[in-house]
Amino acid sequence: MKYYNWGIIGLGEIATSFTNSFQQENSQITAVASRTLSKAVAFANEHDIPKAYGSFEALLADQAIDIVYIAVPNRQHIEHILKALAAGKHVLCEKAITMNSAELTQAMTLAEEKGLILAEAMTIFNMPLYQELRSQIDSNRFGKLKMIQAPFGSYKEPDPSNRFFNPDLAGGALLDIGTYAVSFARWFFTSQPKVIASVMQPFSTGVDEQSATILQNDVQEMATVSLSFQAKMPKQGVVAFEDAYIVINEYPRADEAKIFFNDGTVETIVSGDSTQALNYEITNMIKMIEGETSNRSLFLTKDVIDLLDQMQQNWTN
């Protein structure tokens, strides 16, 4: 197996979490980049990273870098995805991977042309628990899927200037916590659903503060997605089948699920380790580059971004 050198573009909180989680025998974080050299140097020194660059372009010009992790604000994702792919780098990008489906299609086309791997850093698509549940669902252990519930509520200080509510920084619940909720639902749907109805309450800046959405596919499977940036809700996903329902607490990084069968039997499934959520993303990225596994998650990501587009279109109609 090849040894891979990673570079990080954007050095905020999630980049710090990513770096602290990085545990790979066949990879290392070789370089980091910020628009300010002093910030890059401080980050590199704190995390014992060999190289620091004062521009994103300088990192992309480094021939030693194989994979780029992009952790800049959402609105800037597509610019740096395209630049990284054009420079011949594989790309793992934070969620939401792009602002809309058109941007993602552009990025996917370039990645295919270059023979490179493009993926979103979505924990749900990488946690072992979801792979285990998918295996059991595919064995028809629970009967037909009927209904999914995916709530996510978080209280953010109502400051119009912070990234959560600032439209210039792609604020709003949908492109932040909403990506988790819709990804959770999409993982369990047997085919891509459509947005049947969606309503949104805006914050004073115009971004979505809270919303409620109904999804349904062509075999009548349904989901409700509830989001809020001004009210906490438990991150408890429920997946209901004819013969049982599954409850997954803290579903973005879950390693445990409870299954409640119609006869009263309750079973607990434990798989993976929630503290290794970001490291699973890294491991699976390398496996995709090595050809050990397919990049199926990218097509699920495309489905999710399509749904986010549909939700926003509903809000403007």
Check whether 317 has a pLDDT greater than 80. no
**CATH number of the CATH domain containing 245:** 3.30.360.10
Both 204 and 116 in a single domain?
no
Average pLDDT over residues 30-52: 97
Concatenate the DSSP letters of all residues of the chain into one string: ---EEEEEE--SHHHHHHHHH---TTEEEEEEE-SSHHHHHHHHHHHT-SEEESSHHHHHT-TT--EEEE-S-GGGHHHHHHHHHHTT-EEEEESS-SSSHHHHHHHHHHHHHHT--EEEE-GGGT-HHHHHHHHHHHTTSS-SEEEEEEEEEEE----TTSTTT-GGGT-SSTTTHHHHHHHHHHHH-SS--EEEEEEEEE-TTSSEEEEEEEEE-TT--EEEEEEESEEEE--EEEEEESSEEEEEETGGG--EEEEEETTS-EEEEE-S-GGGHHHHHHHHHHHHHHTSS--HHHHHHHHHHHHHHHHHHHHH-
Q: How far is CA 21 from the centre of its chain?
A: 16
Question: Containing domain of residue 312, as a range?
Answer: 125-316
| End residue of a domain, out of 103, 120, 137 | 120
Average pLDDT over residues 71-79: 95
Both 194 and 282 in a single domain?
yes
- Which of these ranges, 48-57, 137-146, 158-167, 203-212, has the smallest mean pLDDT? 158-167
**Checking DSSP bridges between strand 244-249 and strand 236-241, what pairing results, if any?**
antiparallel
The pair phi, psi for residue 186, each rounded to 5°, is: -65, -35
Both 86 and 176 in a single domain?
no
- Which of these ranges, 160-164, 219-223, 269-273, has the smallest mean pLDDT? 160-164
Average pLDDT over residues 230-240: 97
Q: How many CB atoms lie within 10 A of CB 263?
A: 7
At residue 254 the predicted structure's pLDDT band, cuts being 50, 70 and 90, is very high
What total number of domains does the chain contain? 2
pLDDT in tens, 139-152: 999 999 999 999 99
Average pLDDT over residues 3-29: 96
Both 181 and 114 in a single domain?
no
Cis status, amide bond into 96, omega within 30 of 0: yes
Both 53 and 24 in a single domain?
yes
Both 139 and 111 in a single domain?
no
Average pLDDT over residues 59-77: 96
Check whether 283 has a pLDDT greater than 80. yes
Give residue 169's pLDDT: 86
Give residue 233's pLDDT: 96
| End residue of a domain, out of 71, 105, 120 | 120
Both 92 and 145 in a single domain?
no
Both 58 and 129 in a single domain?
no
pLDDT in tens, 174-186: 999 999 999 999 9
Both 94 and 144 in a single domain?
no
Both 172 and 226 in a single domain?
yes
Both 162 and 275 in a single domain?
yes
Give residue 205's pLDDT: 95
Q: Calculate the average pLDDT of the chain.
A: 96
pLDDT in tens, 92-118: 999 999 999 999 999 999 999 999 999
Check whether 264 has a pLDDT greater than 80. yes
Give residue 1's pLDDT: 74
Both 270 and 189 in a single domain?
yes
Give residue 260's pLDDT: 98
**CATH number of the CATH domain containing 26:** 3.40.50.720
**Which pTM does this prediction carry?**
0.96
pLDDT in tens, 193-210: 999 999 999 999 999 999
| End residue of a domain, out of 76, 93, 120 | 120
